[in-house]
A and B are shown apart, each in its own frame.
Chain A
Amino acid sequence: MPDLAIEIENLTKEYPFGFLHLKKKTSLEGLNMQVETGEVFGFIGPNGAGKSTTIKLLMGLIFPTAGSARILDKPISDVEMHRDVGYLPEQPHFYDYLTAAELLDYFARFHDLTAADQKERVQRMLKKVGLETARKIQLRKYSKGMLQRVGLAQAILHDPKVVILDEPMSGLDPVGRREVRDIILELKREGKTVMFSTHILSDAEMLCDRVGVIVGGKLRGVGAPGQIVDMKTQGMEILFELPGGSNAPLLSKATRTGDRYRLQVAEEELYGAIEQLRGAGARILSVSQVKATLEEFFMNLVEADRAQAAAVEVSEK
């Protein structure tokens, strides 16, 4: 098996719009990214960032304006690539006149499976996603969460090596989200490569070996969740109590919660700040490194992108 499950090179997608389609909107700009075999890769970004566009390009549902991509060493234009890839679309819609068992049976027929194997896999998948009892109910009667489970079942039905999930937690209750997380972890244990898009950062932090952050159609960072955050780690936080009160100038920068204060300072200012606080009669409870969360990193990028977009808009006026 190749070391890289997914290789994306300079992938760009522009959509024409306006009268005669003369204007172009760039949804994805020169994306370069790799997903290693056997890892769980999270693709995170706000709505409209280009996550679904990237995934649709990988699945051959839309076509790139420029660039290329390969999955398991096969170009995405090669239909045979789909034998080893499972895909869950965002907010999946299926033929609502079919039951879950019929839908899985229908999809199984596109893979080279024997009739017995097809039947066994359909049963196993329905059990895996907890739809065994609802297998004979038409999909038009399914809730959003149930449809998401059917979607997951059809994505892994043929035992693919690479599983690409577009917002797999979307529309699920906490129990459903937990079940999807468990399935992703199980896939990882089985040695599958999983790439999923999400804007729920806690899921990404919990599940992913690496994440890619995309904002405004551009990739802003790739790495282990901890690594990405570490790059941005700055400052120290001092937690203290001040029983007698004080007028120390540092206190104006501190945040008070009940009897306790939190003060953030730069690393090189830490000892000076502690001295000042002790001098003012503060009781130091703890000193800890301020670690930016993935969410903060993500929000900083989003805000920077919005500010840039606003600046462009103003300059165009």
Chain B
Amino acid sequence: MRRSAVVALNTFREAVRDRVLYNLVFFALLMMVAAIAVGQISIGIEQIVIVSLGLSAISVIGLLISVFLGVALVSKEMDKRTLHALLAKPVRRWEFLLGKFGGLVLTLAVNTAAMALGLLLAMLYVKHSLERSDATVLVAVYFILLKLALIVALALLFSCFTTPLLAILFTAGLYTVGLYVQELRNLPLELLSPAMTAFTKWLSYLLPNFENFNVMAMAAHGRAVPVALILQNTLYTVVYCTIVLAIASVVFSRRNLK
């Protein structure tokens, strides 16, 4: 674990030095423009507009970072052969993978926290005060972070056995499918054969369910998110990430480096 932490901190340092956090400037500008514009054009629905816009921006920026950097975490090290000197140290391959995962999740956590702060400041500017119910925004941001962690784990898995381009496509594809898992579960079963019913049910539990992480509407309307959902999503992310990372470790531990 200590070795994974060393790798994680270096991954975070890499992200900072590669100016990944510069996206915060873009987000800050977006929030400033939105806050001023919302104040002038949306009467009575300022909170809905600014929260929806802010959470969407946090989600999209985080998605881009998690997919592209998630895939590059391992593939870049293999392509540039920086991994050779590292794996010649007493580091197990799974410790390296866990460290890379942890480092990017840490980067995303810092990035997301900074953006959440920006969103709260924009809300304060629009509403002139913050209420207790606005804390739901923080829960929504936390769910986005959980979702991003899942995406990083998937990107990491795909990059362990395929090319970076295919890994990006697979990750993006799986994310898109994961948004509609609920629909898959709600298919009119009476129209399907028993085999097909079993298959779609099995598939819907196998695929990552990203729909549960979307509480944007609740946050926009200041409605509280049930504690059970917070626990459920946290547990779901931990278990799913553990399984995905375990598979990635098995694949990566058998891989011949260039």
Q: Are B92 and A95 in contact (CB under 8 A)?
A: no
A89–B87 CA distance with the chains assembled, in angstroms: 11
Chain B hits for A54, CB < 8 A: none
CA gap between A79 and B254 in the complex, in Å: 14
A89-B81, A95-B82 as given contacts; A59 in contact with B3, CB under 8 Å = no
Q: Is the CB of A111 within 8 A of B84?
A: no
Q: Does B88 lie within 8 Å of A85, measured CB to CB?
A: yes
Q: Does B18 contact A (CB under 8 A)?
A: yes
Q: Are B257 and A61 in contact (CB under 8 A)?
A: yes
Closest to A107 in B: B89
| B83-107 residues at the A interface, CB under 8 angstroms | 83-92
Within 8 Å CB of B257, what residues of A?
A: 56, 61-62
For the complex, is B80 an interface residue (Cβ under 8 Å from A)? yes
Do B90 and A111 touch across chains, with their CB atoms under 8 A apart?
yes
Q: How many A-B residue pairs have CB under 8 A?
A: 70
Report A-chain residues with C-beta under 8 Å of the C-beta of B84: 56, 59, 61, 87, 89, 92-93
Instruction: Report Cα–Cα, A59/B84, bound state, in Å.
Output: 9
Query: How many interface residues does chain B have, given as a range?
Result: 20 to 34
Query: With A59-B87, A63-B256 in contact, is A97–B82 under 8 Å at CB?
Result: no
What residue of chain A has the Cβ atom nearest to residue B90's Cβ? A82
Interface residues on chain A, number (Cβ under 8 Å): 29
CA distance A94 to B88 in the complex (A): 13
Q: Please report which residues of chain B, range 39-77, place their CB below 8 angstroms from some CB of chain A when the two chains form the complex.
A: none
> In chain A, residues 60-91, which have Cβ atoms closer than 8 Å to a Cβ of chain B?
60-63, 79-80, 82-83, 85-89, 91
Task: Kindly state the separation between the CA atoms of A77 and B16 in the bound complex, as whole angstroms.
Answer: 34
A60 contact set on B, CB distance < 8 A: 87-88
Contact with B along A85-116 (1 / 0, CB 8 A): 11111011111011000000011011100000
- Across the interface, A93 reaches (CB within 8 A) one of B3, B80, B92, B256, namely B80
CB-based contact B82/A110 at 8 Å = no
Please determine whether A97 and B18 come into contact, CB atoms closer than 8 angstroms: yes
A61-B257, A97-B14, A110-B90 known; A92+B6 contact, CB < 8 A? no
Closest approach, in angstroms, between the C-beta of A236 and any C-beta of chain B?
49
User: Is A151's beta carbon under 8 Å from chain B?
Assistant: yes
**Complex Cα gap A109–B91 (Å):** 11
Given that A63-B254, A63-B256, A79-B92 are contacting pairs, would A94 and B85 also be in contact in the complex, using a CB cutoff of 8 Å?
yes
List 10 tightest A-B contacts by C-beta distance, closest first: A87-B88, A110-B89, A62-B256, A89-B84, A97-B17, A82-B90, A61-B257, A109-B6, A93-B81, A59-B88
Which residue numbers of A lie inside 8 Å of B, CB to CB? 56, 59-63, 79-80, 82-83, 85-89, 91-95, 97-98, 106-107, 109-111, 151, 154
**Pairs A–B under 8 Å by Cβ, sample size 28:** A56-B84, A56-B257, A59-B84, A61-B88, A62-B256, A79-B90, A82-B88, A82-B89, A82-B90, A83-B90, A87-B85, A87-B88, A89-B81, A89-B84, A93-B80, A93-B81, A93-B84, A94-B85, A95-B14, A95-B82, A97-B18, A106-B6, A106-B10, A107-B85, A109-B6, A110-B6, A110-B89, A110-B90
